[in-house]
Structure 1
Amino acid sequence: MANSQLYQLTQTSFRSFSHLDWEGNIATDLADNIPMIYWPDRRWCLEANIFIQRLYKQGLSRKNGGGTLTTYAAQLSHLIRFCFKNKIDFHDLMDNHFTLFIKTLSGEKKKDGTNQAVRGPNAVRAIGKVCLDFLSAVGDFYGDANFIGPTGRILASKKTHIIQNTRRSSKPIIREYWHHNAFPTADSYKSRLPVSTENVRQLREVIQHASSSVYLKKRRYVLITLLEITGARRFEVAHLTVQSVLGAEQMEYPMLKVLTGKKGGNNEEFRLIPVLRADLNILLEFVRKNRAPLIKRTCGARNDNGILLVNERTGQGLRPNTITQEISLLRLAAGIRGDLSPHLFRHAFVTNLFIALIEREKIETADDFRRALLDGEALKREVREWTGHTRLESLEPYIHIAFALRASTQSVINQAHVSRLLESVRAKFLVLKAENTAQLSSNDNLASLESFLNAALADISHIKRLADS
């Protein structure tokens, strides 16, 4: 199936009808970042847009370039292409049509000669569930109660899924979803290993030769540092602000204020993530020596949106996709084989956090750790604050990896802090090397190094206090 995008997001000024007030005036709601869906021949797709409008009214997230609504639109696009290609209206679909659709999704191969499937069983199931939900709405739209169901023209059944919640409320979340017998068997979860220290080192070392300017070198060093020390999602890194960095500088034990991106609805929620002063020193220097001059010669202070990582030409914040592209470019330049994405930094961060918590709380088994997450309010708050997770099932892969790695690790908490500090030292010298290419004075570099070493000494003192406590 073709991969051309079949939707376009509404602009920031777009408003949607809400209601008529008592005087007959039309009231509207802000409705930016809503995907407007069309057929491959660019005709308006009525049923799909009614479905998306319903989800919008339910409050599904529009963050991060459309959020959950965009995910639904992308998944619906597969069914829209299928119906368009086969000249079938949605309401005319039969069970054999839907079965063929699912088999087509499962059978599609990559065009790189590897004969690998484009998507795995779990991805096919996810698309199928959304499409059945959409077709149920189509049946409602046409008043056809027999369109989809156990005895419908499309044979599907409703199932429930229970999600354990790590929030204060002990009530689990119960979700309903559609199931069809054509769905492939769910693949067991295959956890991707966290990014390795060696791969991070390779990424850092290739920056010097793979970057066209000092600013780009410094921004890439900062990007890798942020991915390492925050465990943030790419959306969260893309929205980190200068004010967050400057605010951390004023704290006795510095913490970065990070926007939590993967939350239901469209409300903003932040968390505070502790960072080493040595790492903060690198961020502060980037803000003052590299970002500030760039803003002055591009968009200007009046048009500065305050985002930390900005485009070299425009001074505007990087998009989340750009962060993925940056890591991909550096991976290729370093000759690293296999998968290496921003999210694997998050895997490493959360896994190391869990190992540290397991050691600190003297937890012996994975089951004990799960119970501690469900029952221990302090531990739940700590995990939510550091990682932004609320669902226990989302943490399962990290729990498994953490216990596997812990078996061969001693004094993990202190080792993790010291290792992080040593990586900061390595990163700092690479940053200074980048600055030397711009022929900055040796006094500038000496002052920069002195500031960094003072920050590192403060970190060492804090680590010693942790070890002695």
Structure 2
Amino acid sequence: MTPQSKLYLITSGDCRLPLHAGQGGVVTYPAHDIPQLLWPDGTICWLANIFLLNGYRKGRSRKNKGGTLLTWAKNLSHLIRWCYQNKIDFIDLTDSHFKMFINTLLIEKDTEQPSEKRRSEQQVTTICSTVLNFLAFLDGKYPGLNLLGPTGRIRAEQKTFKIMTGRSGTTINRTSWVHECVPRHRKTRRRQPISTSAVNRLYEANVTLNATPLVSRRRYIMLRLLEITGGRRIEISQIKVKDIEEAIKTGELKLFSAKQSRHEAYRFVPVTQTDLKDLQSFIKHYRQRVIRKTIGHTNDHSMLFINNDNGLPLEIDTLGTEFYLLRKAAGIIDEEACLHAFRHRYITNIFRNLIKTHRYQSEGDLRSALLSTETLKLKVMEWTGHSNIDSLDRYIHLAFEAESNFQNTMNLIKGKNVIDSLRVILKEYSCQFKISSRTPELIASLSGVVDEAASELEKLLKASEESCDS
């Protein structure tokens, strides 16, 4: 392995671990998507793997090829590499060693930008948190080791912190290991919703980048889904073709909910038929062509986002890379544009629409309505994927900051969503006509989208007229 090679492998989809031996033989259970940590020389790092296995048995997420366990593996890789380079075993670490390890993380320079540090203090804190938990795990496995503690060889201690979860004053206790040299948590700077200007620049940048037809269209679809669903990166990556097909019938798109206690939790988000027609067009004219040329329709896994070269499901990290390329091409330096900022934009817009529709005059009015109206509260929480209503408070505040008038009705809001979607879609097609040789296919695809938008707007207009008559 090279010095910079990743130090982990992921177990395959058919991997199983033994549970117990019975008369019928060995009983096994699924063990796919578990990271396996290695030393830099390629040998297995047994102690680190026992720690990960313990996390797996406690039900830690391994969604999307590793989940929480993969995060732990990546964080522990830094300690494994440092111990290997310095010829020190985990159980022989001292406080001086740990301080040297932290200092190495803090001073390491970025290989592409030598004047910049490779990682922030917050990242170092996160890495050290996993490392301290791992060392505490080892300390518990070896009686008398005294590796970690106020009087241990590494002078760390456990502290319990009270964290307020919302305006209601509800608090939860969090216990974690702390060490004097680990950077302290600073107040987290909350990301703002991505601006309309930045969104438009991202769409425009996509057309300028040199890419295959599928990749270019896939980037556009990624942006659209981020904008119209408010999904997290992992949630967008898990959308399947059958989810789009079902949404066309119901008007609601099924999304995997990442931050729920249940392992398989989903929510349903309303999406316009105009957008669904556009998604269907991507599947029919771009995705299916690559599937046919690569893995074949009989082996189709149904994941919406696929690799252009082999037709396999797209890696979740590729979405981040694609967004980075778009942001760089768009020259967005005046705000913190990232995938998650689309989620903030989506949720804030939900509350802006509620303010317009129900004419709430203050943040307190809207918050009271959410608490007193069970249907409204549950629907908003379902759309956003929040399990705690207090988590929505900051978006209510952002919505009132952004909203200054109250003149639209619900049907007009829905109509505006259709028109906004159509405007973005038409702009994209206009660019495609200038650079693509596949004009007949583009015309057929655009015709279907426009027809769907006209039909949807006609229904909304009729509904508004009926409402006025009544």
TM-score (norm. length: structure 2)? 0.84
Higher relative contact order (CA 8 A, sep 6+): 1
Give the direction of change, closer, same or farther, for the CA distance of 1:467–1:231 in structure 2 (3 Å limit): farther
1:327–1:341 contact (8 Å) kept in structure 2: yes
Cα separation, partners in 2 of 1:223 and 1:41, compared to 1, 3 Å: same
Q: Is the 8 A contact 2:231 2:343 kept in 1?
A: yes
Q: Return the alpha-carbon distance in structure 2 between the equivalents of residues 466 and 329 of structure 1.
A: 47
Q: Is the CA contact (8 Å cut-off) linking 2:221 and 2:279 kept in structure 1?
A: yes
What is residue 219 of structure 2 aligned with on the other side?
220
Q: 358, 378, 382: which one pairs with 1:381?
A: 378
Alpha-carbon distance change, 173 to 14 in structure 1, aligned in 2, over 3 angstroms? farther
Aligned to 2:280: 284
Deviation at 1:417, TM superposition (A): 5.0
Contact 1:163–1:392 under 8 Å retained in 2 = no
Taking the TM superposition and a 5 Å limit, the aligned residue runs for 1:333-412 are 333-337=329-333, 339-357=336-354, 360=358, 362=360, 364-365=362-363, 369=367, 378=375, 380-390=377-387, 398=395, 401-406=398-403, 408=404
Alignment CA distance shift 1:443-1:395 (3 Å): closer
- Helix, strand or coil at the partner of 2:43: coil
In 1, the alpha carbon distance for the partners of 2:85 and 2:370 equals 49
2:303 to 301, 304, 307: 307
Could you tell me how far 1:36 is from its partner in structure 2?
0.7
Q: Deviations over 1:242-293 (max 9, x none)?
A: 2221212222xx110111233446x211100011222222122223343334
Post-superposition shift, 1:409? 6.1
Mean Cα deviation higher: 52-61 or 92-101: 92-101
Contact 1:328–1:340 (8 Å) recurs in 2: no
Q: By how many angstroms is 1:425 displaced?
A: 1.9
Contact residue 8 and residue 37 of structure 1 kept, 8 A: yes
1:80 corresponds in structure 2 to: 80
Quote the offset at 1:3 in angstroms: 5.4
Counterparts in 2 of 1:259 and 1:154: CA distance versus 1, 3 Å: same
Residue 190 of structure 2: aligned partner: 191
- Determine if contact 2:274/2:449 at 8 Å carries over to the other structure: no
CA distance in 1 between partners of 2:443 and 2:89 (Å): 72
CA contact (8 A) 1:10 1:34 kept: yes
In structure 2, what is the equivalent of residue 6 of structure 1? Answer: 7
**1:76 CA drift (Å):** 1.2
**How far apart are 1:41 and its partner, in Å?**
2.1
CA deviation digits over 1:217-261, x for unaligned, max 9? 43333221111000111222122122221212222xx11011123
Residue pairs, 1:61-460, within 5 angstroms: 61-113=61-113, 115-144=115-144, 146-162=146-162, 174-251=173-250, 254-264=251-261, 267-337=263-333, 339-357=336-354, 360=358, 362=360, 364-365=362-363, 369=367, 378=375, 380-390=377-387, 398=395, 401-406=398-403, 408=404, 417=414, 420-433=417-430, 434=432, 437-440=437-440, 444=444, 445-446=446-447, 448-458=449-459
How many angstroms apart in 2 are the aligned matches of 1:373 and 1:78?
Answer: 45
Aligned partners of 2:7 and 2:77 also within 8 Å: yes
Q: Which amino acid aligns with 2:231?
A: A
Assess if the C-alpha contact under 8 Å between 1:214 and 1:437 holds in 2: no
Whole-angstrom distance in 2 between the partners of 1:77 and 1:465: 64
Deviations 1:101-122 (A, max 9, x none): 2233233333454744433333
Q: Structure 1 96/297 Cα, relative in aligned 2: closer, same or farther at 3 Å?
A: closer
Q: 1:65 to 1:118 in 2, by over 3 A?
A: same
Q: Distance in 1 between matches of 2:371 and 2:156?
A: 34
User: 3-state SS of the aligned residue for 2:321?
Assistant: helix
Whether the aligned pair in 2 keeps the contact of 1:136 and 1:148 (CA below 8 Å) is: yes
**Worse overlay, 63-72 or 101-110:** 101-110
Matched residue SS, 1:195:
coil
| Aligned-partner residue type, residue 201 of structure 2 | Q
With over 3 angstroms needed to count, the CA separation of the structure-2 counterparts of 1:269 and 1:463, relative to structure 1, is farther
With over 3 angstroms needed to count, the CA separation of the structure-2 counterparts of 1:50 and 1:196, relative to structure 1, is: same
Aligned to 1:20: 21
Change over 3 Å in CA distance of 1:156–1:366 after alignment to 2: farther
Query: CA shift at 1:135, angstroms?
Result: 0.6
- Matches of 1:462 and 1:246, distance apart in 2: 26
Change (3 A) 1:139 1:213: closer
* Contact 1:79–1:131 (8 Å) recurs in 2: yes
Per-residue CA deviations over 1:432-469 (Å, capped at 9, x if unaligned) read: 33266412079735455333322344456668899999
Letter in 1 for 2:246: G
Q: Secondary structure at the match of 1:250?
A: helix
Cα distance in structure 1, aligned partners of 2:175 and 2:303:
39
Q: 1:181 to 1:340 in 2, by over 3 A?
A: same
Over aligned residues, Cα RMSD in angstroms?
3.5
Aligned counterpart, 1:43: 43
Out of 124-133 and 102-111, give the one that drifted further.
Answer: 102-111
Structure 2: which amino acid aligns with 1:47? L
Q: Unpaired segments of 5 or more residues in structure 1?
A: none
Whole-Å separation in 2 of the counterparts to 1:100 and 1:372: 54
Query: What amino acid is aligned across from residue 72 of structure 1 in structure 2?
Result: W
**8 Å CA contact retained: 1:221, 1:427:** no
What secondary structure sits across from 1:309 in the alignment?
A: coil
Aligned residues, how many? 459
Compared CA separation, residues 212 and 82, structure 1 to 2 (3 A): closer
